[in-house]
Structure 1
Amino acid sequence: MNFLPWGTLFFSILWASVVAAIPSRTIDTRASSPYVSTSGSGFVVNGSSLKYIGTNVYWLPTLNTNEDIRNTLANISALGIKVVRLWAFNDVATIPADGTWLQLIQNGTVSVNDGPNGLQKLDTVIQLAEEQGLYVILSLTNNWDPVPLSNDTRLRNYLSNNYGGMDTYVRQFGLQTHDQFYTNPSVLTSFLNYTTQVVSRYVNSPSVFSYELANDARCNSTLPASATCTTETITAWHATVAAHIRSIDPNHLISSGVGGYLCPDCPKLYPLTAPAPPVTSPAPGKKKRSQAKPVTKKQILREESERRRRNREVAKRAGTLVEDGVRVRGRWVSTSTKRQQSSTSGSLYDGSYGVDSQDISNIPDIGFSSFQLFPDQQSYGPDDPNIPSWQNIEQNGAQWITTQAQSAAAVGKPAVLTAFGLVTQANAPDFVPFNSTVAPFASENLAKRQSTLGYGVTDQQQATTYTTWLDTGIASGLNGIVQYQWGQSGLTAEPGTTIDPPTTTGESPTPSSPGETPTPQQTTGSSPNDGYAITGSNTVQQILGNSAQSIAAD
């Protein structure tokens, strides 16, 4: 256990230096390097370009045996998946009796666990990923950290939001608002010290794809935001932490992990300084790529209107048109209320989350643009009454992907969808929103609700939507697409750990003779599932495998 020293950090000075910095578009290709780097808007490694399909396995360092980690990574690699994304943090306020933990944050003091159930477990994951030819995205903290309810029976580390994170720092340092994580000097020093502990271990590891500064950083979380938190707050924090990592590790990429929210009208710390390159027509047989110009609200509204018009035409020909206004003298007339409902100038594009992805992506030390897609957690556009609900999800998600690809192209960096998922009806009982510890569609909660039966899409609708999103991402020029989340069965279970003994295999016979030791029962379990796991879903695995081949050939 390594106790970290306190230091004095003048955040205002760092902030000023961030604002004053001038973005650089100089890119080190290092074409023959074993470390993944960027060349223009693409990734390169060992002299070759790299595009990939990935999957999220946030729970991987909590598995009970090295063999389970190895088998899980082998199954992922067998599909042609190249990158796994996982949590490189596991914060606790009290040391647990069992399981993995990486950092103790308690009453304003911090200590790092360097033992076999601490950072050494992360070492093992990195080593075994390299054996399987996989790259690893290491996320360093989480925006979401709700306090479990007193009657919550899920074990620690089962849910993706139960690994500590930003609000653990805020609570244990006696602070009040979520965004103090970004601005309080003591908290920032502590987080930078932890980051140093992680990054310095893997400076020479070619299997690390990137250090992701935080999962879904924004102004608010379980704890509220202060009135002073803006997009500049979040952008400045990313710049500060990215510069710190770069001072330690010159080899690896650094990424943000934000949800992708844009704010065309927000002030920029890192404005685009070069004119957008001209858009050229693709060569014959090639796919159309995203435009290299910034996204505007006017463009978004125009694209939504055009998509709605196409859906109406299809519905009209099929005789299923749903008119969206009021009937006047036998004719349908659109209403102002309906037109207002079709606008997406809300939280996706107004900076209300405190996130301006384009500004963050344009930070010199940030290697690529990243975004997420979770329709069960966030609306990505207005619903069109002329198509089924799941098709609205499919179309709005596809539009979100092309918009993000365009935003990254304007910055001139690669684009990666770092997490996407859609809850099925079979997974609905396990679904827990990121800022909650309650599964609203679990049987014990459904008894208290009247209209939630049948939540989620069917397996076929999920398969169709995933195929559309993956195809759209490849056609739009995304360099990486990472599914959320992998599921694995047959894992070694131990009481009190993430993989608790839910099932028993084998027998424990009575000894046939005195003194003979009875055969112990073998217990196995499945990986955590917060509503998105594809445990046993051969269809989704096949889709991911097919897309891995397609993106590699793109």
Structure 2
Amino acid sequence: MKVNRWLSLTTLAALAIPTSGTKAKRNSSPFVQTDGTSFIVDGSKFKFVGTNAYWLTALNTDDDVWNTLGNISATGAKVVRVWAFNDVDTVPQNGTWFQLVQDGTISINDGPNGLQRLDTVIQMAEQHGLYVILSLTNNWYPLGSAGTSLQTRWHNSSPVVLPRNYLSNDYGGMDIYVRQFGLAHHDQFYTNQTLVDAFKNYTTQVVSRYMNCTGVLSWEIANDARCSSTLPASSDCTTETVTQWHATMADHIRSIDPNHLVSSGTQGFMCIDCPKLYPLTPPPAPQPSPAPGSKKRSAPVSSKQILRERTESKRLNREAAIRSGTLKKDGIRVRGRWAATATRRQQPQGVGPAYDGSYGVDSQDILNIPSIDFGAFQLFPDQQSYAPYDPSKSTYDNFVCQGVDWINNQAQSASAVGKPLIMTSFGLVTQDNAADFVPFNMTTAPYGSSPLSSALTTEPYGATNQQQNDAYLSWMSASISSNVVGVVQYQWGQTGLTAMTGTTISPGITGTYPSFAVTGMTPSNDVTGISPNDGYSSISNNGIQKGMKAASQNIQSNSN
């Protein structure tokens, strides 16, 4: 008997209209649940490798969604992370949109180019054996110089306007609420009651829609929430501001949906020495005979620990570089026998912005909110510094080592709280992707073939494909050995998509073949497109899929 993979009208109705939900017993639940620092589903532990595909709802056909999810599943991945928001301030002529936010009013699109597209993604993902992480809003929504969300990349020194929804930061988010309600500071999204209620309204509509869907792994309150974005922070924003907002929203989601897990979606920034709204309680005294398989909680990450580890790492790296002769000697000679090696002057002595609350985020305090079920963090060394630069190592080696240290510290922090942890996205830009790389708070590609980028550097930007493979292997291995229960690569790349003029997958713009634009061109067998790429797509490196398969096998063998 052939199983129909498409959503029938009856299935859509059942999916869209929630029934009264009751929370199943934890050990037998078909919903993913937590047990200490582990995930369990149907009574078994659940660890996974996954990928990001924020653009899934923007694809032009159901076949494209189906084939993309099938290819993801074929790697052994078990989870796909998707944007569950698509906010606009004007109804577009083409493409998908979920919510109109305009001049202080909001309207939700429940039609076939609205939330029904998300219905399709969730249902098809479940048929492919994939869980979805649904992110409800984004910290990033930059506007171009014309005051619109138009985004560009450069091709042969000419600007090319990218379609709406091409980049991950072109789906609306916090700042569209702030702007359209006539406010000026990013953190007013967290504190202004009108905006809080507006976001609660959208959250209610989406969360209630899928509260009984077992294919949803979790609700992610926001991607990479911070005090500031393109819009500045007010002088009043602190880590407590962001923590309190997460607590408010987590409680709201929990009041609607008792079945699914809730997480923050932060980058994982810490504020080691900040006051806490949800301070850790001391762990219980050690028992003479701990339960088999039980894990001792870690101490929280401290400033003293961070500085000590950095000093020791720098010492070892310098000694190794001196022995290998790769560290330049330019210091003062003493009696012609000794030369001080090169050092980086005025190295910062503090723990740095990733650990001191500079971004207004205290991930440990957020994780300890009772209605937050697990920790989340991200790793993007092209865009974020996680530690001071070590001059004894190459930029690439700095990226890899900072990433491993970041993972280990995140795992330690989550263990101190006693909850599971997921790396919800990680990526490294390659030379093949450099021309497409648009940082999350920008609208143009700084390393494309524009006159500006040519003036910035003559050297190719980015890692080689092999370096990317090696970095991903190091980060996934570090995660698995540190008891991170899920690692989610950023981002999936898909070929063979249906291209339609005026949509996200447009002929001649989004890497279509043949690569030229023809006004009014309609899809045909020889005109197909590739998925959006903000600089991290896996399309140009087939080693990523091989690495995902290997990591999936590894994480499953370590799941017991």
Q: Same fold (TM over 0.5)?
A: yes
Whichever residue aligns with residue 501 of structure 1, its letter is P
1: CA distance between counterparts of 2:329 and 2:398? 17
Aligned to 2:383: 377
- State whether structure 2 residue 487 is matched by structure 1 residue 491: no
Report matched runs for 1:174-193 at 5 Å.
Answer: 174-193=182-201
Aligned to 1:4: none
Q: 1:536 to 1:332 in 2, by over 3 A?
A: closer
Deviations 1:85-105 (A, max 9, x none): 010000000000000000000
Q: 1:447 to 1:353 in 2, by over 3 A?
A: closer
Question: Once structures 1 and 2 are overlaid, which stretch shifts more, 132-141 or 346-355?
Answer: 346-355
Deviations 1:339-376 (A, max 9, x none): 75154522111111100000000001111011110001
In the alignment, which of 69, 74, 78 is matched to residue 70 of structure 2?
Answer: 74
Whichever residue aligns with residue 326 of structure 2, its letter is T
SS in 2 for 1:198: helix
Whichever residue aligns with residue 200 of structure 1, its letter is S
Aligned to 1:136: 132
Q: 1:298 to 1:91 in 2, by over 3 A?
A: same
Gaps (5+ residues) in structure 1? 1-26, 506-517
Question: Once structures 1 and 2 are overlaid, which stretch shifts more, 149-158 or 218-227?
Answer: 149-158
Gaps (5+ residues) in structure 2? 1-22, 153-160, 515-521
Aligned to 2:403: 397
Aligned to 1:464: 470
CA contact (8 A) 2:208 2:257 kept: yes
Deviations 1:264-314 (A, max 9, x none): 11110000013377699x99xx9x989611001110111112212222232
1:329 Cα offset (Å): 5.4
Report matched runs for 1:117-128 at 5 Å.
Answer: 117-128=113-124
- State whether structure 2 residue 480 is matched by structure 1 residue 474: yes
CA contact (8 A) 2:352 2:387 kept: no
Whichever residue aligns with residue 410 of structure 1, its letter is A
Q: 1:546 to 1:186 in 2, by over 3 A?
A: same
Aligned to 1:31: 27
CA contact (8 A) 1:361 1:369 kept: yes
1:387 Cα offset (Å): 2.2
Aligned to 1:65: 61
2: CA distance between counterparts of 1:239 and 1:209? 19
Whichever residue aligns with residue 316 of structure 1, its letter is I
Aligned to 2:517: none
CA contact (8 A) 2:37 2:418 kept: yes
Aligned to 2:360: 354
SS in 1 for 2:272: coil
2: CA distance between counterparts of 1:226 and 1:460? 43
Q: TM-score under structure 2 normalisation?
A: 0.87
- State whether structure 2 residue 311 is matched by structure 1 residue 315: no
- State whether structure 2 residue 106 is matched by structure 1 residue 113: no
Whichever residue aligns with residue 434 of structure 2, its letter is A
2: CA distance between counterparts of 1:31 and 1:264? 35
Whichever residue aligns with residue 276 of structure 2, its letter is K
CA contact (8 A) 1:504 1:521 kept: no
What percentage of residue pairs aligned between the two structures are identical? 60
SS in 1 for 2:250: helix
Q: 1:299 to 1:430 in 2, by over 3 A?
A: same
- State whether structure 2 residue 249 is matched by structure 1 residue 249: no
Report matched runs for 1:327-342 at 5 Å.
Answer: 327=333, 330=336, 331-332=338-339, 338=344, 340-341=346-347
Q: 1:343 to 1:329 in 2, by over 3 A?
A: farther
Q: 1:190 to 1:328 in 2, by over 3 A?
A: farther
Aligned to 1:428: 434
SS in 2 for 1:443: coil
1: CA distance between counterparts of 2:490 and 2:361? 22
1:318 Cα offset (Å): 1.9
Aligned to 1:5: none
Aligned to 2:226: 218
Aligned to 1:197: 205
Aligned to 1:523: 527
The alignment yields a C-alpha RMSD, in angstroms, of 2.6
- State whether structure 2 residue 368 is matched by structure 1 residue 387: no
CA contact (8 A) 1:28 1:39 kept: no
2: CA distance between counterparts of 1:369 and 1:326? 49
CA contact (8 A) 1:491 1:499 kept: yes
1:383 Cα offset (Å): 2.3
Q: 1:143 to 1:114 in 2, by over 3 A?
A: same
Aligned to 1:233: 241
2: CA distance between counterparts of 1:56 and 1:435? 18
Q: 1:240 to 1:342 in 2, by over 3 A?
A: same
1:211 Cα offset (Å): 0.4
Aligned to 2:4: none
SS in 1 for 2:107: strand
2: CA distance between counterparts of 1:333 and 1:501? 58
Whichever residue aligns with residue 101 of structure 1, its letter is W
